Amino acid sequence: MENKKSGAIDLNVTDFMPITRQEILAVNSLPVDIFLKISDTKIVLIGRKGSRSLDDLHVLDNEVVSEFYVRKNEYRDCVGQNLTIAGIIISKSDISDPTKTEFLTRTAFSVFNEIESVGFNHESLEHAKLVSKSIQNLISSKPDLLSVLNMLGTVSDDLLRHSMAASAVSVMIAKAMGWTVQATLEKVALGGLLHDIGMKELPSDILTKPRYEMTPEERLYYETHVTRGVEILSTMPSVADDIIAMTMEHHENALGQGYPRRIRDFKMNPLAKIIALSDCFCELTLKNINYPMPRSSEDAINYIENTMGQPFSKPALFALRKALTKSSNIGVVKIAS
């Protein structure tokens, strides 16, 4: 509700999402309206969509101010623009690796906020963030992993966002299944990040075409991203066999109707069962070329169970539901003091 006299709006955490200073400074013009928190319950509009962020928003020069918000339903537009920048930054050869890693960390922050809006509970998200941080450290220390991640950023914004989201959601599913070994969770996270790396070999006319518009031949060609990804990762010393299996089997399903080998659930690598579900769930719930109107988490699970006939591992789906169950902490916006 707007207060006419002060221009302040009631801060309702269900309508607004926090955004970092870095995310705003990274853009040339604001992709959405930006708000500043002025009290525990009030925010004011400080930058209109389309304005030039650096010139118009002097308030951003104030290092003390860090509590910015955007409307939740506009957050995806913000993330999209940021990922464009992330792709440019990580693909540039004259930018140092630490700078690239730092930008990836910020990008991961954006993706986590977007995933949070899908409805994952606080505990699951916090755990996935920790694992994400540790694999970002791992990636920054392994030149082969950093170079393969650079490849992802050069393909498309959607792919970078999808890969980061699939990574985080896979970790949340694994954790909710009771998996606790850090090394395994890191493998799950890395597998989620790299599972679609084979897309980099596909031409842009295939990558920019929704699957429902592809001819059968184009569809078969598109499906080669799986084996192309395996070929790329097999040459890399830092990539474990489980990660290669996750890549190879991320489009297989429990009904034996997937590709490329049409293997059933019991023959699949346990980590691959998780990425297969996570991959599908992320595609249904995060805006992308195949689903321009993303579904809510509830709709997505209904779609998986009823329309698709539940083609994924039952324990993994059960765990996904568990990670989506609201906890007492959900909805609390954490503000640095």
Where on the chain is the footprint of Fe ion (CB under 5 A)?
Answer: 196, 279
In the complex, least distance from residue 262 CB atom to Fe ion, rounded to whole angstroms: 15
Nearer to Fe ion, 27 or 207 (CB): 207
CA 78 to chain centre: 13
Q: Are 157 and 87 in contact (CB under 8 A)?
A: yes
Nearer to Fe ion, 31 or 258 (CB): 258
Query: What are the angstrom distances between the C-alpha of 151 and each of 162, 192, 219?
Result: 14, 15, 22
In the complex, least distance from residue 173 CB atom to Fe ion, rounded to whole angstroms: 14
Nearer to Fe ion, 70 or 233 (CB): 233
Question: What CA–CA distance (Å, rounded) separates 256 from 221?
Answer: 20
Give the residue carrying structure tokens 């050069």.
Answer: 154
In the complex, least distance from residue 195 CB atom to Fe ion, rounded to whole angstroms: 6
Nearer to Fe ion, 186 or 283 (CB): 283
In the complex, least distance from residue 176 CB atom to Fe ion, rounded to whole angstroms: 20
CA 284 to chain centre: 12
Question: What CA–CA distance (Å, rounded) separates 60 from 65?
Answer: 7
- Tell me the HSE value of 94 on the side-chain side, using a 13 A CA sphere: 0
In the complex, least distance from residue 196 CB atom to Fe ion, rounded to whole angstroms: 4
Question: What CA–CA distance (Å, rounded) separates 27 from 56?
Answer: 13
Nearer to Fe ion, 47 or 229 (CB): 229
